[in-house]
């Protein structure tokens, strides 16, 4: 777990860096899909299933980010709890 016992940075953890890279790629894909949707709409077209898929992917990504953030915050708190009698 990154930052366990308050030592080090989450960026030193390979698993966290991989997750961060995955989140970046997903965010970039969502951004490009939004741009494509805007282009379709600006040309008078209608959106297809990519709009719904984008919502699903975005929601999943937000959940994953929130879970990771809570894990990062909880690791130092867990070590503090063990220190308190």
Q: Please provide the DSSP assignment of 21-52 as one string.
A: HHHHHHHHHHHHHHHHHHHHHHTT----THHH
Residue entry with tokens 């939004």? 34
Q: Domain spans of the chain?
A: 4-83
Q: What is the C-alpha separation between 51 and 55, in angstroms, rounded?
A: 7
For residue 66, give both structure tokens: 């929130």
- pLDDT tens for the chain, 85 residues: list them: 444 445 567 777 788 888 889 999 999 999 999 999 999 999 999 998 888 888 899 999 999 888 888 887 776 665 555 555 5
| Cα-only R_g, the chain | 19
């Amino acid at each position: 777990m990154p930052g366990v016992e308050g030592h080090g940075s989450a960026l030193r953890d390979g698993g966290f860096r991989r997750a961060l890279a995955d989140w970046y790629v997903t965010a970039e894909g969502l951004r490009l899909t939004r741009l494509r949707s805007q282009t379709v709409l600006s040309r008078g077209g209608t959106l297809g299933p990519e709009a719904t898929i984008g919502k699903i992917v975005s929601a999943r990504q937000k959940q994953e980010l929130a879970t990771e953030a809570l894990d990062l915050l909880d690791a130092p708190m867990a070590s503090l709890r063990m220190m308190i009698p």
